[in-house]
Amino acid sequence: MNQLLMTVAKRLGLGLFTLLIISMVIFLAVEMLPGDIATEILGQMATPEAVAAIRQELGLDQPIVSRYFDWLSGLLTGDLGQSLATGQPVLELLDDRLINTLYLAGTAALISVPLALGLGVIAALYRNTLVDRAVSMFTLSAISMPEFFIAYVLILFISVQLGWIPSMSKVDADQSLLERLQLTILPAITLTFVTCAHMMRMTRAAIINLLSSPYIEMAYLKGLGPWRIIVHHTLPNAWAPIVNVIVMNLAYLITGVVVVEVVFVYPGLGQLMVDSVAKRDLPVVQAASMIFAATYILLNLIADVVSIVSNPRLLHPK
Amino acid sequence: MMMTKTHSSEKVPLWRKVLSGLAEAPPTGLLGLVVLFTYLFVIVFAPWLAPFGEATIVADAFAPWSAEHLLGTDSLGRDIYSRLIYAARNTVGITLMATLLAFVIGGALGMVAAVVGGWVDQVLSRLVDMLMAIPLLIFALLLLMIFGSSVTALILILGCLEATRVFRLTRAVAMNVAVMDYVEAARLRGEKMLWIIRREILPNILSPLFAEFGLRFCFIFLLVSSLSFLGLGLQPPTADWGAMVRENAMLITFGRVTPLLPAAAIAILTIAVNLVVDWFTHKASGLSK
């Protein structure tokens, strides 16, 4: 047990260290921006006095190391500075949008994970048959399509031709849960297409990989049915790789939301990030990148910890 | 087709080998190959195939499909069919350059890490771990904001970011070769590192690298398209499939399928490359059908 805790603790430490390095990378990347931020805000015609004043206001006259620590401590205490474009506090901008994005990613995960597991088990059960080939052809096409293609096909058929759901997903806090769900469903289905395929392929591969083990052959020889063998005997041992790929795909959702949010005009973090990049709104981009990176690292960390914990060799050290 | 030459097969002429390879190909692989060559044809002969120029305004905005403008015109009155053809050049060209760059950087460093080992390997591997901890699209957006969306910046940013993935794979497969006796023998007789990489390592890892090239190409291709779709990739008036979807997206609400065509062009090329890569890896792994 001790060894297990040590491994997990080590992994957690490494995750935190990575996060620290990432924060440096994001901070320094923006520092490399050609030109002066103050001049950028005021325009080329600004007087030197005005530039100096705004530099002081933004703290740009401080040395880079102390500015990094200011920024980092602000990040930890929730003070993310102000948007250069609107002057609003960044935290205010992010607040609702973060919740919207999590809601969308959560809905997508709730649909895609069970679907992927089900399809994966079915493909493994009927491996090398027509069903398997159809499922694998379908997943190959789903991985190969850009998100916006799937999104616009859905809009064309479901929103425009059938008129069931509006094509713009303008959710806000005042809507009821059901209204919100209705507006979230199209973006969520788009994300499902993209992530489901990969998870399903890995589930199928993990199960088929185990099917040649002697203990599965034993189960066959005992006369158990294929369905029972896969669900009760193979699946429990395939959990580690499957959970791993599920969490990795949830991490993929993090970037998937960017394009999907733009297509559906969904007021989430991804759309904010794209807008802010176009406007070169540094504090917002820094904060949004940091949130995306932190979530991504956290999910990868969970994947690692799960595969460590579900490894029986570590649970029962000699 | 890229194959490692062996002495026994050198007497068979190349066209024979290609022909027999094609005869054994699965239908999906052949289909992928045919599609790839069609795209190649369009890319090479774009100026002869396109009836109008890439950025020429030829009619009113949003003209419907007609004999003169096969797929109608876009928001500025440019011929969509012509832009679709030119976009093949631009998007695929950028993707190819970025993929090549990723392989030159990632492949070279990966082999060096595997052959030299020790602290060089440690430093490079940890650096790559760190870079890979940031989601690729987010990192690309951040860098594009800093360096602007020029063609050079796009190729450099995507090439460098994807190099981390290439590094991982190259290092892993090169490691397996680097422990072989013949590499040890080359080391003992005093061959230089570059000679070992060129003569012993590279020829033996070509086939996994080739498969990876196809997959990386798809990945970068989708990424370039997504960035262009977001308005942060190729800048107008350059025709690009991703950007064309964005420019004409409002037509969807009138029930017209025109904006879906460039998106479909992206999807079909990616599927075709995947099919060819599948065929190739199957062949290389020596598995029967």
> What CATH number is given to the structural domain containing A174?
1.10.3720.10
A246, part of any domain: yes
Number of domains within chain B: 1
Helix (H) or strand (E) holding B251: none
B52, part of any domain: no
Per the structure, the complete domain to which residue B231 belongs is given by 28-46+62-285
A86, part of any domain: no
Contacts for A178-181 with beta carbons within 8 Å, 24 or more apart? A180/A103, A181/A107
B205, part of any domain: yes
A51, part of any domain: no
Rounded to the nearest angstrom, the gap between the alpha carbon of residue A176 and the centroid of all alpha carbons in its chain is 25
Instruction: Tell the burial category of B189 from Cβ atoms under 10 Å away from its Cβ (0-12, 13-18, 19+).
Output: exposed
Instruction: Tell the burial category of B136 from Cβ atoms under 10 Å away from its Cβ (0-12, 13-18, 19+).
Output: buried
B1, part of any domain: no
Other beta carbons within 10 Å of B116: 15
Q: Which of residues 4-43 of A touch B (CB under 8 A)?
A: 18, 21-22, 25-26, 29-30, 32-34
Given this model, what pLDDT does residue A8 score? 82
A106, part of any domain: yes
Given this model, what pLDDT does residue B275 score? 87
B279, part of any domain: yes
End-to-end CA distance of chain A: 10
User: Is ipTM strictly over 0.90?
Assistant: no
Given this model, what pLDDT does residue A291 score? 87
- What percentage of residues in chain A have a pLDDT greater than 70? 88
Per-residue pLDDT tens for B74-106?
Answer: 777 788 888 888 888 888 999 999 999 999 999
Per the structure, the complete domain to which residue A310 belongs is given by 96-315
A47, part of any domain: no
* Closest to B174 in 3D by CA, of B206, B201, B209, B203: B201
Q: Which residues of chain B have pLDDT under 70?
A: 1-11, 58-59, 67, 284-289
A181, part of any domain: yes
Closest residue, chain A, to B128 (C-alpha): A18
Taking the C-alpha atoms of residue A247 and residue A260, their distance in angstroms, rounded to an integer, is 20
B73, part of any domain: yes
Q: Are A158 and A241 in contact (CB under 8 A)?
A: no
B8, part of any domain: no
Contacts of A223 (CB under 8 A, 6+ apart): none
Q: Which residues of chain A have pLDDT under 70?
A: 1, 33-46, 57-61, 169, 173, 311-318
DSSP state of A233: I
Selected residue of B244, B252, B269, B281 to mutate for chain A interface (largest A Cβ count, 10 A): B252
Q: Which of residues 201-260 of A touch B (CB under 8 A)?
A: 251, 254-255, 258-259
Residues of chain B with C-beta less than 8 angstroms from the C-beta of A162: none
Taking the C-alpha atoms of residue A228 and residue A205, their distance in angstroms, rounded to an integer, is 18
Q: What CATH number corresponds to the domain at position B271?
A: 1.10.3720.10
**Are A144 and B271 in contact (CB < 8 Å)?**
yes
B6, part of any domain: no
Q: Which of residues 285-304 of A touch B (CB under 8 A)?
A: 285, 288-289, 292-293, 296-297, 300
Number of domains within chain A: 1
Given this model, what pLDDT does residue A297 score? 86
A11, part of any domain: no
